[in-house]
Amino acid sequence: MDFKIGDDFDENGNVQEHKVNKKMLIAIVAVISIVFGLLVFFISNAILGGGKEKPKVDTQVEISDENVQILYKYVSYKDNGHGNDLFLKETAVNSSKFTDQDKLYYALYYAQPEDLLYSGKTTDKKQKIYTLSISKIKGYLQRFFGNEIAFSPVDEITYVFNFTINDLGVAKLTYSEEEQVYKVIFEKEEEKEEELIKPYYTELTSATKKVDGSLIINEKVIYTTSAKEDTTYKINIYKDYGHITLIEAKQNITKEEIEKNPISISNYTEKAATISYVFKVNSLNNNYYFDNSYITY
């Protein structure tokens, strides 16, 4: 008699086949179906990307944000006896466009009164001589331009600090290679007559934080030329530094009219050019530094 492995035998030695409980079979099939369904769901989800994080997007930052205000103040620091208009005239700017004198002017914006040390000496005019170390200045440079900035000290500059010492704010800085310091002498600031018509007008308009963490600050700008004709002025307003694209021409404008209704960029924001300043994050200290700027028309 033939029999298979797993056959049972009755009392008489006859083969008796297994009888499977139908309810048990249904339960097993149900469990297998659920497990299979879950596997299909998770595999499909993984393939289609349903389990991934939502993609990051650029976000708008309020122009009142502290970082935006501080950084904009740095780049818009244009009139300091130096008259640097690099950001205003160049379509694209990065650190390589700056001369050493340019770099020094922007870096010194970070200087604080305690950074200047009294040397104990005075000039023939009894002016106190202070010193500002080159290492401090290199620190300022790295804060503004990033860690890779190159710099060679210039011999002499005149600078208007953000603070005063002995009620004086204008300083003459002279480099001493031997001591590796700038010798600083403060002088009385000459009163300047305020310009009736400025060569350009700017306004901070927006800021965007990019996905990579960089911050872009946008500034609107218009450019002007003016000419006095007897007792009135002729004023041209342009979109570009080269004075090619005319936005508006004004004629026979009196001084009183200009003083009463000064030129305002808010009247030309739609036609004005935009300067975008790009700041990146320094991985060593998590602070923003200037990377580049560009103008769009």
**Residue 172 falls inside a structural domain:** yes
**Residue 195 falls inside a structural domain:** no
Provide CB contacts within 8 A for 204, sequence distance 6+. 63, 68, 72, 76, 217, 218, 219
How many domains is the chain built from?
2
**Residue 21 falls inside a structural domain:** no
Q: Are residues 171 and 217 in the same domain?
A: no
High-pLDDT (> 90) share of the chain, %: 65
Residue 226 to residues 59, 198, 223, Cα–Cα distance (Å): 40, 9, 10
Query: Nearest Cα to 111, choosing from 70, 152, 163?
Result: 163
Q: Are residues 229 and 177 in the same domain?
A: no
**Residue 96 falls inside a structural domain:** yes
Where is average pLDDT lowest: 53-57, 59-63, 245-249, 277-281? 53-57
Q: Are residues 116 and 179 in the same domain?
A: yes
Q: Are residues 239 and 265 in the same domain?
A: yes
pLDDT of residue 1: 44
pLDDT of residue 134: 96
Q: Are residues 183 and 210 in the same domain?
A: no
pLDDT of residue 195: 85
pLDDT of residue 84: 65
Place 41 in a pLDDT band, splitting at 50, 70 and 90: low
pLDDT of residue 118: 96
Q: Are residues 173 and 207 in the same domain?
A: no
pLDDT for residue 36 is more than 80: no
Q: Which of 187, 208, 236 is the last residue of a domain?
A: 187
Q: Which of 187, 219, 251 is the last residue of a domain?
A: 187
Q: Are residues 156 and 213 in the same domain?
A: no
**Residue 23 falls inside a structural domain:** no
Give the residue-averaged pLDDT of 261-278.
95
> Could you report the per-residue pLDDT of 93-123, keeping only the tens digit for each?
999 999 999 999 889 989 999 999 999 999 9
Q: Are residues 205 and 281 in the same domain?
A: yes
pLDDT of residue 2: 43
pLDDT of residue 261: 93
Q: Are residues 215 and 245 in the same domain?
A: yes
> Could you report the per-residue pLDDT of 241-268, keeping only the tens digit for each?
999 999 999 999 999 999 999 999 999 9
**Residue 6 falls inside a structural domain:** no
Give the residue-averaged pLDDT of 164-180.
93
Q: Are residues 179 and 207 in the same domain?
A: no
Contact criterion met (CB below 8 Å) for 210 and 216: yes
Query: Nearest Cα to 234, choosing from 250, 211, 255?
Result: 250
Q: Are residues 113 and 182 in the same domain?
A: yes
Place 5 in a pLDDT band, splitting at 50, 70 and 90: very low
**Residue 281 falls inside a structural domain:** yes
Q: Are residues 181 and 256 in the same domain?
A: no
Between 190 and 125, name the one with better pLDDT.
125
Q: Which of 156, 187, 218 is the last residue of a domain?
A: 187
**Residue 20 falls inside a structural domain:** no
Mean of all residue pLDDT scores within the chain? 86
Residue 257 lies in domain: 200-296
Q: Positive or negative CA dihedral for 170, 172, 177, 179?
A: negative
Q: Which pTM was predicted?
A: 0.78
Between 114 and 190, name the one with better pLDDT.
114
pLDDT for residue 86 is more than 90: no
Provide CB contacts within 8 A for 231, sequence distance 6+. 254, 255
